[in-house]
Amino acid sequence: MLRHGQSTANAAGVLAGWAPEVALTERGREEAIAAGERLAGVPVVALYSSPVQRCLETAAALGEGVPAPILDDRLGETHYGAWTSRSLSELAQEPLWRTVQDDPAAAAFPVGGKHRAESMAAMADRVWGALVELDDVVTQAHGPHALWVAVSHGDPIKAALADAAGVGISGIQRFRVDPASVSVIARHEGRSAIWAVNTTHGALTAYVRQSDREDVGGGDG
C-alpha cells in the first residue's frame, strides 16, 4: 500500500478528507516519482487507487513500470464530515480528537456541510473488505505470488495494517504512515502477514515471491 505524496493540505496542516482539488506539492510529486523508482524491478500486475486527486497524481507519477490505475472509492480517505478542510491545530482542541487517538473504535465524525461523515470503524471495514476482495481478484487472475499496489491515504492504510495485525480498529494509532511511504501486506490462504510498515527508502524487490512463505522460529533472521 502506497500513501500519496505530500499534498497542499499536508503542507498547510489541514484535514483534507474528500475535499476536491487538493493536489500534490512539488515535494509530493518528487516523493511519488521516488516511490515509482523504488518499484523498479517489481512485477506489479495491478494498480488500484483512491479516486481522490492527490492519489491520482501519485499513481500517475509512478512511471511506465506499473499498469494504469483502476479507481476504487473504497480505498478513499475517511469521510470526515464537518471536520473536512479544517485545521489540525483547531481540531486538536475538540473532545472528539482525543476519542480518535485513544478510543478510535468509538470515534464517529460529525455530520455537517457538504461532506459525508462516517465512523473510523466503518472506514476500516470498507478498506479491509476492498483489499481482501481485490487481492482475491488479482490472485485468481495472476496466481498466489502476484504483487499489486493500492494507492490510498494515511488513516485507511493504518486501518489495513491494524486489521492485518489482528488488532482491529482499536490498534490503528499504533502505526505511522508517512506521505509516499510503502507498507507491505501479504495474504496466503486467508491469513495476513505484515512485511513492511512505513518504508520510504530502498528497493522493493525484496518482497517479490515472499508472500506465501510460512515462517517457523522467526524467519530467516
Question: Any idea which residues carry the catalytic annotation?
Answer: 4, 77
Strand order in the sheet with 2-3: 70-71, 44-49, 147-152, 2-3, 182-188, 191-199
Radius of gyration of the chain (CA): 17
CB count in 10 Å sphere of residue 189: 7
How, if at all, do strands 191-199 and 182-188 pair? antiparallel
Closest CA to 198 of 185, 215, 217, 216: 185
Q: Are 158 and 148 in contact (CB under 8 A)?
A: no
- CB 75, CB 127: distance < 8 Å: yes
Grid cell 464517529 in the structure block, residue = 108
List, in sequence order, the alpha helices (H) in the chain.
8-12, 26-38, 53-60, 88-91, 95-102, 120-142, 154-165
